[in-house]
Structures are given as C-alpha cells and as structure tokens.
C-alpha cells in the first residue's frame, strides 16, 4: 500500500476521479500496470482549491472535490467528480468499478469509492451530479446562466461543508456556502442578520435548509494584507454602526447559536482556562520561547479578572461580535464594506471587535478608534470609550481564545491548539504589563 507523504510542507494525495455519466474511474498506466493518480499541494493552503488547481495543472481536467478519505491510517486521499468532457481527456484510462484494482486502496477507502459510484452516500455534497442540481437552483434563483463549469471555483469541501464561487455569463458572481457541525449555526445566524441588517452582509439570494446552505451575491474583494487607513476606517464605521443596531437582538442571536462572550461569562471562565494553560505550558517541548510559569499565570489571571470586571463596570451594552474579523471576512467594493463568515458570531462588548479591526493593520489603530468613538459617543461617555480602548487589547485576546474553546466543553485538545493557546497566553501576559492598561485599572 502506497502511503501519502508530507515532505517540506507538501501533501501528496491519492486522487480518484470519477466520471458521473459513465460511473467510471480515471487511472494512469505505469510500466504496463494501472496506477492511481497522485497530486501534491501545500500543507498550508486550502485543500479543495489547491487540489483542483493541481489536478488541472497535471492533466488539464476540471474536477469537483466530493470528499476526502483515508483519515483512519493518516494517509491522504480525495474523491473528485470529472467536470471536463470525457472525450477530451488524453493520457488516462477510464475503468468501470468492477475492473478497479482493489489492492490499491484500503478496505474502508474502497467502500467509500463504491458508495460514491453507487450513489449511496448520505452527504449531498459527496454525491455524483450534485453540482448540476446546484447549478439549476442557482440559475433559477438568479434568472442568469452560468458562464461554464470551468469557471466554478471550489474553496472548501468534505462532509457537510461547501464553499464555491460561480461566475455568470453577464459577469456577476455568486457564492454557495454550506456548513455542518460544529458550525451548523452559521446558516441560521447568516439568515437572521441578512434579514434584519441586509446592508451589512453580502446580499442573500436564496437558502436551502436541506443542505444548510445559502446563495449570496459577490460583494467585493477581501481586504489586502495591510489595509490602508481609509479602508479600515470605513470598515470600522460600518461595523460599529451595525453593532449599535443589534443591541435589541442579543437574545435572538444567542438563540441561533452565537457564542456568549459577555463579560460575566468571560470572568467565570478565567480559572478553568488558566488550568488548561497550566497543563499546556507543562507540555511545551520547544525551547525557543520560555513557557509561562505558575506564578506568571496567576499574575495574568489577576490582571485579566480585574480588566474584565473594570470593563463590565463601564456599562457598555452587549452587541453582536464577529470574533474572526480577518482580512478575508471583510469585503469592500470601494464604497461600502460587508462582513461575511459568521461561524464565529458572538455576543459581547462591542469594543472587542474594535480591537480585532485594529489588529488588521496596527499602524492605523487611531483611524479605527476614531470611527468607533464617533459611532459610540452618542451612546456612552467619552471617558468610558477611553477606558475601553485601554482595556480591550488584553480582553480581546482572551475573548478570542475563549471563542476557540471547544476544549472548554470537554473535547480533547490537540497539540497544535495547545501550541496556539500558549502563544496567545504569552501575548496576553505582555498586554497585562501595558502601562495604559494598568493606568485604566487604577482609576
């Protein structure tokens, strides 16, 4: 059995491409023997997107990723549906299932292939031909025609998850997104926000509850890695204005699965998170950066508790929070920003999101804060805003860590998350020494 390898940040995938019309499997010949297709991608890239590109680069064919397999033995594999017409393919052989060399796959992987070809898979996005159902739905809802299957871009795949971009003949583009556990709540939150605050999200075109999926209009480009002051200020003003409108919607957002990041919740979670961090620090093997010791963690816990309690005393109302305001989740068309990817939607202090926006380009922190001040000064006193700005760098890191915390609900933590948590803890410890923070705590 040939195992997929990871070498120098490259992942090698065993690749099974199935033609939906004939239900046959594409294979290559190697020294007279039939062999699986292999492609290599970066381990740090979106797997589905890079696999589609790598397969096209290697064989000139367009595919749709249906599912991944071979998780059980730590090797990697992918099943894809052929989108290119079979008659145009050169250099590969088409084989029916009953002639497939079963020795090339583990028993469980072969079972996954058989289920795919026979159409017995339970997940809709792993079925052959589902893309045609989607295209028919897209064209019916938009009253437009797809440019071609070759223009479909796939960014996410596997199980109940899907993220694809479609370009229509008139140049307009649309996105399909579907989510499953642990992010199935994103569907309900996106639908709710789109209904009540349509100017803040990409325009919702249609939903499919059976897929837990929605279609949305392409509304602009993601922010660049280093967004300028004007762009960040526009995003900050629009997000702060959205937050102000959501004050009366907190209970509805929580009922639809938004994470509770209210200060009362953050305060009571400090001790268990510090217990987790103590274990994570003890497991550190790298000697590049020293782990925080028990005394430093106790010191951090004290400052963190004081900061959260001080923030709570300011009386700022809870609002909608986007706990993952990354460059890719803010879209701008030159005049207006919208916000996407609401799997990390939360409820909490609005200045948490202010700090997240500041971090997109810290050199323009003042521009972001000026816009937040302008929006929120109609609701809270200037001295309250000053205190919030001083307290937020520390509290925002802690809230971000807490928001990532499936491990807080009894799930076993993996080593990569522990490493990430250690990094955030060291960052929090540095912020706990910030003179501006300490001054705010003294008043």
Q: What span, in angstroms and rounded, lies between the C-alpha atoms of 61 and 83?
A: 7
Look up residue 232 and give its two tokens.
């960040």
Ranges for all domains in the chain classified under CATH 3.90.1200.10: 221-442
Sort 374 into a burial class: Cβ within 10 Å, 0-12 / 13-18 / 19+: middle
Q: What is the pLDDT of residue 223?
A: 96
Q: What is the pLDDT of residue 55?
A: 95
- Which residue ranges in the chain fall short of pLDDT 70? 1-9, 70-75, 406-413
The CATH-assigned architecture of domain 130-217 is 2-Layer Sandwich (3.30)
Using DSSP's 3-state secondary structure scheme, residue 32 falls into: coil
Q: What is the pLDDT of residue 407?
A: 45
Using DSSP's 3-state secondary structure scheme, residue 245 falls into: helix
Ranges for all domains in the chain classified under CATH 3.30.200.20: 130-217
pTM of the model as a whole? 0.90
Going by C-alpha positions, the residue among 237, 393, 387 that lies closest to residue 316 is 387
Q: What is the pLDDT of residue 75?
A: 66
Ranges for all domains in the chain classified under CATH 3.90.79.10: 6-122
Q: What is the pLDDT of residue 32?
A: 80
Going by C-alpha positions, the residue among 339, 350, 344, 349 that lies closest to residue 259 is 344
Residue 334 contacts residue 247 (beta carbons within 8 Å) = no
Q: What span, in angstroms and rounded, lies between the C-alpha atoms of 171 and 140?
A: 17
Q: What is the pLDDT of residue 9?
A: 65
Residue with tokens 């392409």: 218
CATH topology of domain 6-122: Nucleoside Triphosphate Pyrophosphohydrolase (3.90.79)
Residues 221-442: name the CATH superfamily: Aminoglycoside phosphotransferase (APH), C-terminal lobe (3.90.1200.10)
Residue 356 contacts residue 382 (beta carbons within 8 Å) = no
Q: What is the pLDDT of residue 31?
A: 82
Q: HSE of 78 in the Cβ direction (CA atoms, 13 Å)?
A: 27
Q: What span, in angstroms and rounded, lies between the C-alpha atoms of 337 and 371?
A: 14
Q: pLDDT (tens digit, 9 = 90+) per residue, 78-90?
A: 999 999 999 889 8
């Amino acid at each position: 059995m040939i195992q997929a390898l990871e070498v120098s940040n490259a992942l090698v995938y065993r690749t099974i491409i199935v033609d939906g019309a004939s239900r046959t499997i594409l294979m290559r010949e190697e020294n007279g023997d039939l062999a699986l297709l292999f492609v290599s991608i970066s381990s740090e890239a979106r797997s589905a997107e890079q696999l589609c590109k790598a397969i096209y680069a290697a064989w000139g064919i367009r595919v749709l990723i249906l599912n991944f397999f071979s998780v059980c033995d730590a090797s990697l594999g992918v099943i894809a549906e052929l989108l290119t017409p079979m008659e145009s393919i050169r250099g590969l052989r088409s084989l029916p299932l009953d002639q497939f060399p079963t020795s090339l796959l583990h028993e469980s992987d072969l079972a996954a292939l058989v289920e795919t070809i026979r159409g017995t898979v339970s997940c809709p996005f792993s079925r052959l031909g589902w893309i045609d159902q989607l295209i028919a739905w897209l064209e019916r809802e938009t009253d437009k025609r797809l440019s071609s299957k070759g223009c479909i871009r796939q960014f996410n795949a596997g199980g109940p998850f899907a993220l694809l971009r479609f370009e229509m003949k008139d140049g307009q583009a649309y996105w399909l997104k579907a989510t499953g556990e642990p992010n199935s709540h994103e569907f309900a939150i996106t639908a709710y926000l789109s209904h009540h605050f349509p100017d803040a999200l990409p325009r919702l075109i249609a939903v499919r509850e059976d897929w837990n999926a929605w279609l949305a209009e392409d509304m602009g480009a993601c922010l660049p890695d280093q967004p300028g002051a004007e762009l960040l200020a526009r995003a900050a003003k629009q997000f702060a204005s959205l937050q102000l409108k959501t004050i009366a919607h907190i209970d509805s957002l929580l009922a639809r699965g938004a994470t509770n990041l209210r200060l009362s919740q953050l305060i009571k979670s400090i001790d268990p998170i510090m217990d987790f961090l103590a274990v994570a620090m003890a497991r550190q093997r790298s000697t590049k950066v020293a782990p925080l010791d028990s005394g430093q963690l106790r010191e951090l816990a004290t400052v963190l508790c004081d900061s959260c309690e001080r923030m709570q005393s300011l009386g700022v109302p809870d609002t909608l929070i986007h706990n993952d305001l990354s460059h890719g989740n803010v879209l701008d068309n030159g005049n207006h920003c919208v916000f996407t990817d609401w799997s990390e939607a939360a409820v909490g202090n609005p200045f948490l999101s202010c700090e997240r926006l500041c971090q997109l380009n810290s050199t323009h922190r003042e521009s972001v804060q000026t816009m937040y001040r302008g929006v929120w000064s109609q609701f809270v006193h200037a001295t309250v805003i000053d205190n919030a700005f001083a307290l937020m760098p520390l509290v925002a890191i802690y809230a971000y860590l807490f928001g990532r915390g499936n491990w807080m609900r009894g799930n076993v933590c993996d080593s990569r998350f522990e490493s990430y948590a250690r990094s955030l803890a060291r960052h929090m410890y540095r912020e706990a020494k910030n003179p501006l923070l300490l001054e705010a705590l003294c008043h």
